[in-house]
Structure 1
Amino acid sequence: MVGPTYSGIRAATGDGEVGGLDATGIPGPGGPLVLLFSDDLDATVAAVEGAGGSVTAPPYEFPGGRRFEFSDPSGNVLGVWTTS
Protein backbone atom coordinates (compact mmCIF):
# COMPACT_ATOMS: atom_id res chain seq x y z
CA MET A 1 0.00 0.00 0.00
CA VAL A 2 1.45 3.33 -0.99
CA GLY A 3 -0.02 6.82 -0.95
CA PRO A 4 1.14 10.40 -0.63
CA THR A 5 1.53 10.10 3.16
CA TYR A 6 1.78 6.33 3.73
CA SER A 7 4.10 3.56 2.61
CA GLY A 8 3.35 -0.04 3.59
CA ILE A 9 5.80 -2.88 4.09
CA ARG A 10 4.68 -6.14 2.48
CA ALA A 11 5.36 -9.54 4.03
CA ALA A 12 8.29 -11.47 2.56
CA THR A 13 5.77 -13.90 1.02
CA GLY A 14 4.11 -11.01 -0.81
CA ASP A 15 0.85 -11.70 1.04
CA GLY A 16 -0.34 -8.92 3.30
CA GLU A 17 1.28 -6.02 5.05
CA VAL A 18 3.56 -6.30 8.10
CA GLY A 19 4.15 -2.62 8.81
CA GLY A 20 4.33 0.83 7.35
CA LEU A 21 5.37 4.44 7.65
CA ASP A 22 2.82 7.25 8.09
CA ALA A 23 4.03 10.79 7.46
CA THR A 24 0.87 12.50 8.76
CA GLY A 25 1.77 12.36 12.45
CA ILE A 26 3.72 14.92 14.40
CA PRO A 27 6.85 13.48 16.07
CA GLY A 28 6.57 13.38 19.84
CA PRO A 29 7.95 11.71 22.92
CA GLY A 30 7.92 7.96 23.30
CA GLY A 31 9.54 6.81 20.07
CA PRO A 32 7.85 4.79 17.33
CA LEU A 33 4.28 3.59 17.70
CA VAL A 34 4.28 -0.17 18.16
CA LEU A 35 1.32 -1.86 16.44
CA LEU A 36 0.02 -5.25 17.56
CA PHE A 37 -2.26 -7.48 15.45
CA SER A 38 -5.69 -8.72 16.56
CA ASP A 39 -8.20 -11.01 14.86
CA ASP A 40 -11.03 -9.23 16.74
CA LEU A 41 -10.41 -5.50 17.12
CA ASP A 42 -13.62 -4.75 19.05
CA ALA A 43 -12.90 -7.49 21.60
CA THR A 44 -9.37 -6.12 21.97
CA VAL A 45 -10.72 -2.62 22.69
CA ALA A 46 -12.86 -4.12 25.47
CA ALA A 47 -9.90 -6.12 26.84
CA VAL A 48 -7.65 -3.04 26.87
CA GLU A 49 -10.27 -1.00 28.73
CA GLY A 50 -10.93 -3.90 31.12
CA ALA A 51 -7.23 -4.07 31.94
CA GLY A 52 -7.06 -0.37 32.81
CA GLY A 53 -5.88 1.02 29.47
CA SER A 54 -7.30 4.19 27.94
CA VAL A 55 -8.29 4.30 24.27
CA THR A 56 -6.69 7.43 22.80
CA ALA A 57 -7.89 6.91 19.20
CA PRO A 58 -11.02 4.77 18.76
CA PRO A 59 -11.16 2.22 15.91
CA TYR A 60 -10.78 3.80 12.47
CA GLU A 61 -10.14 2.69 8.90
CA PHE A 62 -6.61 2.94 7.47
CA PRO A 63 -4.96 1.52 4.32
CA GLY A 64 -4.95 -2.22 4.97
CA GLY A 65 -7.67 -2.51 7.63
CA ARG A 66 -8.81 -0.96 10.91
CA ARG A 67 -6.90 0.04 14.01
CA PHE A 68 -7.07 1.87 17.34
CA GLU A 69 -4.52 3.33 19.72
CA PHE A 70 -4.37 3.21 23.50
CA SER A 71 -2.31 4.16 26.50
CA ASP A 72 -1.54 1.43 29.03
CA PRO A 73 -1.62 2.07 32.79
CA SER A 74 2.13 2.91 32.68
CA GLY A 75 1.60 5.56 30.00
CA ASN A 76 2.98 3.59 27.04
CA VAL A 77 1.12 4.28 23.79
CA LEU A 78 0.44 1.29 21.53
CA GLY A 79 -1.77 0.52 18.55
CA VAL A 80 -3.71 -2.55 17.51
CA TRP A 81 -4.75 -3.36 13.94
CA THR A 82 -6.70 -5.92 11.97
CA THR A 83 -7.19 -6.57 8.27
CA SER A 84 -10.98 -6.34 8.33
Structure 2
Amino acid sequence: MAELPRPDFFELPVADVAAAQAFYGSAFGWSMTGFGPTYACTLTGDVDIGLQADPAERTAAPLIVIQVDDLEETLASVETAGGSVTKPIFSFPGGRRFHFRDPDGNELAAHKPD
Protein backbone atom coordinates (compact mmCIF):
# COMPACT_ATOMS: atom_id res chain seq x y z
CA MET A 1 0.00 0.00 0.00
CA ALA A 2 1.33 3.43 -0.94
CA GLU A 3 2.10 5.88 1.83
CA LEU A 4 -0.25 8.81 2.26
CA PRO A 5 1.09 12.19 1.14
CA ARG A 6 2.80 14.06 3.97
CA PRO A 7 4.43 17.41 4.51
CA ASP A 8 8.13 16.97 3.94
CA PHE A 9 9.26 20.52 3.32
CA PHE A 10 8.67 23.96 4.82
CA GLU A 11 9.74 27.01 2.86
CA LEU A 12 10.34 30.25 4.73
CA PRO A 13 10.22 33.66 3.05
CA VAL A 14 13.39 35.58 3.95
CA ALA A 15 14.93 38.92 2.97
CA ASP A 16 18.56 37.71 2.86
CA VAL A 17 19.51 34.06 2.33
CA ALA A 18 23.05 34.42 3.72
CA ALA A 19 21.81 36.13 6.90
CA ALA A 20 19.05 33.54 7.35
CA GLN A 21 21.51 30.66 6.80
CA ALA A 22 23.82 32.19 9.41
CA PHE A 23 20.96 32.54 11.89
CA TYR A 24 19.61 28.99 11.51
CA GLY A 25 23.11 27.52 11.42
CA SER A 26 24.04 29.31 14.62
CA ALA A 27 20.74 28.77 16.43
CA PHE A 28 20.06 25.15 15.44
CA GLY A 29 23.20 23.82 13.75
CA TRP A 30 21.43 23.43 10.40
CA SER A 31 23.65 22.96 7.37
CA MET A 32 22.13 24.30 4.15
CA THR A 33 22.92 23.88 0.49
CA GLY A 34 22.71 26.96 -1.71
CA PHE A 35 20.86 26.90 -5.02
CA GLY A 36 21.81 30.30 -6.37
CA PRO A 37 21.88 33.67 -4.61
CA THR A 38 18.27 33.61 -3.37
CA TYR A 39 17.62 30.02 -2.26
CA ALA A 40 19.08 27.49 0.18
CA CYS A 41 17.73 24.46 2.00
CA THR A 42 18.57 21.60 4.29
CA LEU A 43 18.86 18.22 2.56
CA THR A 44 18.20 15.75 5.35
CA GLY A 45 15.66 13.67 3.43
CA ASP A 46 13.12 13.92 6.24
CA VAL A 47 11.34 17.24 6.80
CA ASP A 48 13.53 19.90 5.23
CA ILE A 49 13.57 23.69 5.48
CA GLY A 50 13.98 26.01 2.51
CA LEU A 51 14.84 29.71 2.55
CA GLN A 52 13.33 31.71 -0.34
CA ALA A 53 14.60 35.27 -0.83
CA ASP A 54 13.56 35.89 -4.44
CA PRO A 55 10.87 38.61 -4.20
CA ALA A 56 9.11 37.17 -7.27
CA GLU A 57 8.96 33.66 -5.76
CA ARG A 58 8.63 34.01 -2.00
CA THR A 59 5.25 33.62 -0.38
CA ALA A 60 3.74 35.95 2.22
CA ALA A 61 3.88 33.27 4.91
CA PRO A 62 5.74 29.98 5.48
CA LEU A 63 4.83 27.46 2.79
CA ILE A 64 4.07 23.84 3.70
CA VAL A 65 5.05 21.50 0.85
CA ILE A 66 3.41 18.07 0.60
CA GLN A 67 5.16 15.20 -1.20
CA VAL A 68 2.88 13.24 -3.53
CA ASP A 69 3.24 10.31 -5.94
CA ASP A 70 1.31 11.85 -8.86
CA LEU A 71 1.41 15.62 -9.29
CA GLU A 72 -1.22 15.92 -12.02
CA GLU A 73 -3.65 13.68 -10.13
CA THR A 74 -3.10 15.71 -6.95
CA LEU A 75 -3.71 18.99 -8.78
CA ALA A 76 -7.02 17.62 -10.08
CA SER A 77 -7.96 16.39 -6.58
CA VAL A 78 -7.15 19.79 -5.04
CA GLU A 79 -9.40 21.56 -7.54
CA THR A 80 -12.20 18.99 -7.15
CA ALA A 81 -12.05 19.40 -3.36
CA GLY A 82 -12.49 23.18 -3.63
CA GLY A 83 -8.90 24.41 -3.66
CA SER A 84 -7.56 26.91 -6.18
CA VAL A 85 -4.24 26.65 -7.96
CA THR A 86 -2.14 29.79 -7.45
CA LYS A 87 0.95 28.64 -9.38
CA PRO A 88 0.66 25.91 -12.05
CA ILE A 89 3.04 22.95 -12.14
CA PHE A 90 6.65 24.03 -12.63
CA SER A 91 10.07 22.41 -12.43
CA PHE A 92 12.75 23.28 -9.89
CA PRO A 93 16.08 21.66 -8.95
CA GLY A 94 14.97 18.34 -7.47
CA GLY A 95 11.49 17.94 -8.91
CA ARG A 96 8.25 19.63 -9.90
CA ARG A 97 5.51 21.29 -7.85
CA PHE A 98 2.46 23.54 -7.86
CA HIS A 99 1.03 25.97 -5.30
CA PHE A 100 -2.59 26.16 -4.20
CA ARG A 101 -4.90 27.74 -1.66
CA ASP A 102 -7.25 25.66 0.44
CA PRO A 103 -10.86 26.87 0.93
CA ASP A 104 -9.72 28.92 3.97
CA GLY A 105 -7.07 30.76 1.95
CA ASN A 106 -3.97 28.98 3.27
CA GLU A 107 -1.28 28.64 0.60
CA LEU A 108 0.45 25.26 0.34
CA ALA A 109 2.33 23.37 -2.35
CA ALA A 110 2.43 19.79 -3.61
CA HIS A 111 5.62 18.36 -5.08
CA LYS A 112 6.94 15.24 -6.74
CA PRO A 113 10.70 14.77 -6.34
CA ASP A 114 12.84 13.65 -9.29
Q: Shared topology, TM-score over 0.5?
A: yes
CA contact 1:36–1:81 (8 Å) conserved in 2: yes
Whole-Å Cα distance in 2 between the matches of residues 57 and 51 of structure 1? 17
For structure 2, the 5+ residue unaligned runs are 1-32
* Rg larger for: 2
State the secondary structure of the residue aligned to 1:21.
strand
Q: What is the correspondence of 1:34-49 to structure 2 with a 5 Å cutoff? A: 34-49=64-79
State the secondary structure of the residue aligned to 1:10.
coil
Partner in structure 2 of residue 4 of structure 1:
37
Does residue 22 (structure 1) correspond to residue 52 (structure 2)? The answer is yes
The number of residue pairs the alignment matches comes to 79
Whole-Å Cα distance in 2 between the matches of residues 6 and 40 of structure 1? 25
Structure with bigger helix share is 2
Does residue 66 (structure 1) correspond to residue 110 (structure 2)? The answer is no
Whole-Å Cα distance in 2 between the matches of residues 76 and 57 of structure 1? 14
Deviations 1:22-47 (A, max 9, x none): 1113563xx31111111111111011
**When the two structures are superposed, what TM-score results if normalisation uses the length of structure 2?**
0.61
Give the root-mean-square deviation of aligned CA atoms: 2.0
State the secondary structure of the residue aligned to 2:62.
coil
For structure 1, the 5+ residue unaligned runs are none
Shift of 1:71: 0.6
Partner in structure 1 of residue 85 of structure 2:
55
